[in-house]
Structure 1
Amino acid sequence: MTSSGTFGVHFVLRSNRQQDGKSAVYARITVNGSRCELALKEYLSPADWNVGKGMAAPKNKSLKQFNSYLEEVRGKLARHYRELQMKGERLTAAAVKDAYGGIIKEKKVDRSLLWVVSQHNTMMEQVLKKGSMKNYLTTERYLKLFLSKQLKTADILLKDLAYEFITNFEFFIRTQPMKESDPCTNNGTMKHLERLKKIVNWAVKNEWIDKNPFTAFQLKFKRKERDFLTELELAAIETQDLENAILQKVRDLFVFSCYTGLAYVDLMALQPANIISSVDGMKWIKTSRTKSDIGVNVPLLTPALTVLEKYSHCSEPSQHEMLFPRVTNQEMNRSLKVIGEICGIRKNLSFHLARHTFATTVTLMNGVPIETISKMLGHTKLSTTMIYARVTNLKIGMDMGLLQNKLGDAGRNNLKDLKE
């Protein structure tokens, strides 16, 4: 039987499928060049089969009834073919066979972009730290704003996500600040796109989208020059008389971080159990970074020990008690701005500057290998440490001075050997 396209059903016996000397009857379905066979679970003697006509030889009433059954099967297959055709489904022999057998294949659900973003963020709430989760939610808000203002829609299907959407979203972030007069920086824009890319990659792995629109898109971060305190600036903060108790407290915590490299959240989480002593009597900090759960071991230098002893006001502190008084990150950074003005430091002081100072001024400038610094900062990649610990001109000068002295000594020794 045919309609628009080619459709046919021919019945055959399979001699390799036998039962009690009879061969299995199959319906061979052909649709637009594709072919498959359907087992009817009926058996017939080859002597009762007309190979040319593809039907039973009507020798008796039973065989005639069998032919009527075959025509009934043919009619049902033809009906399923027409139904698939009317629904606009892809027409194949296998699809007709499945329809006859009552197999309904689950249609691919077209998921929307914001649904995927919401699903991702809901799952990640149990995995990501609070700060990272906050950033993903901000990216989600930016997407909703872009869809509403730029595309005049509440959402789009994930399959409609294209390279053009990404470039337009990038321009929107750069030109439409969340807060008035506070435009997103280049790296801030790239961070939003990086988070969206991770979500889209997750959707690709789940087979919710066939083509990844980020394949041709390149994230372009600008390398930021990380600021740090020089030796003189650090000394100025350490020795400055501060009458305000809060400023004194903030200064102490900041100095402790300058000599240990601890981030704000890790410093606030320190407990007595995190301070251990080595066999040589030196005290160490043994903890894990809150951000990455990477283990960190840092020996306590004298300035850090001085701060620690100042706040060891309890002779027998509880193992669950924090080592330092609680100061919010906002209060810390506000107070550091004031301290900077008092000390005549024009740099934009923030608590994270202490981590940079530890990596550069305290360790690298004093000859500590970059690999050791990386371990103390809790980095898994050396390239990450290079962002903090820059090889400054002063360090280059010091290293070249040592080389010059070494070459000078070698030259003098060689000259002396020649004279002798």
Structure 2
Amino acid sequence: MRTKYTLKFYVNKYTEKQGRCTIYGRIIHKQKKNEFATQLAIKPSEWNKEFMQPISNPFIKRELAQIENKIQETVNRLEYEQIHIDSKSIKDYYTGKDKVDMGILEYLDRIIELKKKTTTSSNHNKYVVLKVNIGDYIWQIHKVKDFNMKKINLKFITDFDAYLKSIKSKQYNKPLEQDTIAGKHSYFRYVLRQALNEDYIRKTPYDIFKIKKGIPKIKRLTASEITKIEELQLKNKKEENVRDIFLFSVFTGLRFTQSKTLTMESITTENGVYKRIFIYEQMKNKTLLDIPLLERAKSLIEKYEQSDARILSNFVLPPVSNSYFNKVIKKITKSFNIPFKMTHHVARHTYATTILMENDVGIYEVKDWLGHSSINSTKIYAKITSLKMNNTADRLNNIYNSAA
């Protein structure tokens, strides 16, 4: 969709020097305006106010036409690069002011606007929170409302790191975990690299600053805890639906959005028996997932054959919202004294570790079934699956002890 804006020229009589006044441009977008000086001057008597152009000066007419073309080129560039467009950004990009004194919070507004259009709400929200963190930091430490991006150096990043380590999570009222801090640095690094690509800054301090990651904390259930959830006596059908959606991901590794939108077209059968799931991993890698169906997952598919969701929309499972799901799964497992917050993603972690790796499924099969693009992502699960390593060591000891 093309951006609608208006460009008008007028003579600013307050700039008169030696009988000539500077011609100004006025950019209007959504009833908001920004003005700039054109460096052109003309006698007021030679200016046509109604048509906003010189009466008979071909040189100035030609120069104003070139300005109009350059303004349009600027708007085209902003549209192409998906940068937030308003009268100020058009003026700043045209005059080059954006390259001189762009503040980091102002630039983050543009990144946030871009992410709102191009990514998930969860990813977009991370940049919103990052802006709050940086805003609080520069106000408390530097006592300014915004900070010139050209002045962001290694000390700025180091001090920001120290600031993040000093604050507490508003949700849990405890210091931020190192993984959370590392995540904020990763998003900030992306922002500064974008600024570098757009010539707002000449270098990024993240070329020097090393982001320290915390020890991965994989939240997963044990086999006995899975059994307890399966055997839960629940009060109503909605709670039962949530429990079954969770268990389906425990035995398939699907993300919440994947299980929520999964239809029977993605389930293959052989001789009337459910065999595999074929779906595209659209959130990250856009690869085709081929997941073999375990018996307990098959039984859940069969359980909902006559559900409204299946009959009306061909969904495998009854759809629920993510917030409602997390609220209910936390409620129905409260008595288990699980030492971490229960969310849907616990099911995916459980599938990778308790279901697969602790039952000797190879790491490359786990990688493919989870849809990881890199084996390094899968190795995180392998590091915390000590039971499998212990079992393997015991098995090797038995073999070689008996051989001796």
TM-score, with normalisation over the residues of structure 1? Answer: 0.66
Q: 1:212: which partner in 2? A: 204
Query: Is 1:115 paired with 2:103?
Result: no
Write the distance in 2 (CA, Å) between the matches of 1:121 and 1:348: 28
Cα deviations across residues 151-190 of structure 1 (Å, max 9, x unaligned)?
A: 2222222211111211222223333447383543322222
1:164 to 1:303, Cα distance in 2 relative to 1, 3 A: same
Q: Find the partner of 1:202 among 185, 189, 194.
A: 194
Tell me the SS of whatever aligns to 1:214.
helix
Q: Which residue of 1 aligns with 2:232?
A: 240
Residues paired across the two proteins, number: 308
Alignment of 1:159-178 (within 5 A): 159-177=150-168
1:317–1:330: structure 2 CA closer, same or farther, 3 Å change rule?
A: closer
Q: 137-146 or 324-333: which moved more?
A: 324-333
**Unaligned regions of 5+ residues in structure 1, if any?**
1-104, 412-420
Instruction: Give the Å deviation of 1:405.
Output: 4.3
CA contact (8 A) 1:282 1:299 kept: no
Q: Which amino acid aligns with 2:324?
A: E
Alignment of 1:256-295 (within 5 A): 256-277=248-269, 282-292=274-284, 293-295=286-288
Quick one: structure 1 residues 204 and 283, their matched pair in 2 at CA, closer, same or farther if it must change by over 3 Å? same
- AA of the residue aligned to 1:373: V
Would you say 1:129 and 2:143 are equivalent positions?
Answer: no
Within 5 A, what are the aligned runs for 1:19-30? none
Letter in 2 for 1:402: R
Structure number with higher helix proportion: 2
Counterpart of 1:147 in structure 2: which amino acid? I
Q: Pairwise CA RMSD of aligned residues?
A: 3.0
Q: Using the TM superposition, name which of 342-351 and 362-371 deviates more.
A: 342-351
Tell me the equivalent position of 1:355. Answer: 348
Aligned-pair CA distance for 1:391: 5.6
* CA shift for structure 1 position 345: 4.8
Deviates most, 200-209 or 307-316 = 307-316
How many angstroms does 1:298 deviate by? 0.9
In 2, the alpha carbon distance for the partners of 1:280 and 1:351 equals 30
* 1:385 match: secondary structure: helix
CA contact (8 A) 1:272 1:318 kept: no
Q: Distance in 1 between matches of 2:217 and 2:110?
A: 36
Asked if the contact 1:271/1:319 (under 8 Å) is kept, the reply is no
**Distance across 2 between alignment mates of 1:333 and 1:388:** 23
Assess, with a 3 A threshold, how the Cα gap between structure 1 residues 150 and 195 changes in structure 2: closer, same or farther. same
Shift of 1:132: 0.6
Kept in 2, the 8 Å contact 1:252–1:307? The answer is yes
Alpha-carbon distance in 2 for matches of 1:123, 1:358: 34
Q: Equivalent of 2:148, from 157, 160, 178? A: 157
- Rounded to whole Å, the distance in 2 between the matches of 1:345 and 1:122 is 38
Instruction: Work out whether residues 261 and 355 of structure 1, in 8 Å CA contact, stay in contact via their aligned partners in 2.
Output: yes
Change (3 A) 1:319 1:369: farther
Contact map agreement 2:251 2:297 (CA 8 A) in 1: yes
Q: Is the 8 A contact 2:243 2:329 kept in 1?
A: yes
Q: For 2:363 and 2:151, locate their aligned partners in 1 and report how far apart those are by CA, in whole Å.
A: 47
Identical positions, percent: 25
Equivalent residues of 2:99, 2:199 under 8 A apart = no
TM-score by length of 2: 0.68
Contact 2:138/2:144 (8 A) holds in 1: yes
Shift of 1:217: 1.0
Q: How far off its partner does 1:306 sit?
A: 0.9
Structure 2 residue 150 is the aligned partner of structure 1 residue 142: no
Q: Give the unaligned 5+ runs of structure 2.
A: 1-95
Whole-Å separation in 2 of the counterparts to 1:313 and 1:402 = 46
1:333 match: secondary structure: helix
1:323 CA drift (Å): 2.4
1:119-144 deviation per Cα after TM superposition (whole angstroms, max 9, x unaligned): 33333333322211110111112222
Once the two structures are superposed, the pairs formed by residues 367-382 of structure 1 within 5 Å of their partners are 367-382=360-375
For residues 335-376 of structure 1, the C-alpha deviation after alignment (integer angstroms, 9 at most, x for no partner) is: 223332345655543221111111111111222111001111
Q: Is the 8 A contact 2:281 2:287 kept in 1?
A: yes
